Structure 1
Amino acid sequence: MGFIRIPSTITSTQLSLVISNLSSLAEERWDREQQEKDRCRQAVHQVQLEFGLHKVFRHSELVSHDDFMNALVRLLDQKSKLRESLAGSSLGIAASGQFCHLSDDGSLIIPHNWK
C-alpha cells in the first residue's frame, strides 16, 4: 500500500490532477499484483497435486510473489527426492534467513531461498 503526501496548500485542481495521474498507476500495479497472485495460485495447485500436500502458503508477506514462485519451481525440480517426505503435510515458504522448522500448527516451514 502506498500513501500520497499532499501539502495543505494544494489547490483542488492540482489535487484532482495528482489523483488522476496516480490512479492509473495504481490500477496498473493492482492488475500486475492480481496476475502474480493468479500465477502463484496455479503453481500452488500444481505443487499440492505433485506432492500430495494439504496446503502450500507464503508464511509471511515478506516473501515476494517472485520468491514464492521460484521456491515452488525448485520444489517441483526436486519432486522425486521430496514427494514421499512431504506427502500429507502442509508447507509454508518463509523469508530468507529463516531456518527449516515446524510451525505451531505442524506445517513444515522452509525459507524461499533454500539450497
Structure 2
Amino acid sequence: MTIDFEALALGPIYDVMSVSASFALAKGAGSFTLPAIDMTAGLEITLGSVDIPTIQPVAMIRAADLAAQSKRPDQLLGATVSLSGKSWRIESYKPKPGPAGEAHGEYALILVQI
C-alpha cells in the first residue's frame, strides 16, 4: 500500500495556510502564480543535526506545483515573489523532500525583501 503524502498531508496544509504568490522570473523569463505558505517571520533551519531558529524570511511552495509550471527551483534564483502585500527577491532555496523524494515535497525559498 502506498500513502499519498501530498494528498494526505501537504494538500490540507496548503488548503488552509497558503496564500497566492506571484512569481516574476529574472530577466523577463515569465511569470506565474502558485500557492505558498508565508513564513517571512522566520523559519527554523537544520544545519547538520542542530535546529537553529532564524529570522530569515521564507516562503514554502510544493515541488509538484512548481513542476506543474514546468519550472525547476534553480530557475527561481533572482526571481521576485509577491505575497501578503510585500515583494521579495529569491536568494536561494532548500529542498524539503517528502517520503517519496524531493519531487513530492516542498521547497523553502529563502527571501530578501525589496
TM over 0.5: no
Specify which structure has the higher proportion of helix.
Answer: 1
TM category (shorter chain) comes to under 0.3
TM-score between both structures, scaled by the size of structure 2: 0.27
TM-score, normalized by length of structure 1? 0.27
Q: Highest relative contact order (Cα 8 Å, sep 6+), 1 or 2?
A: 2
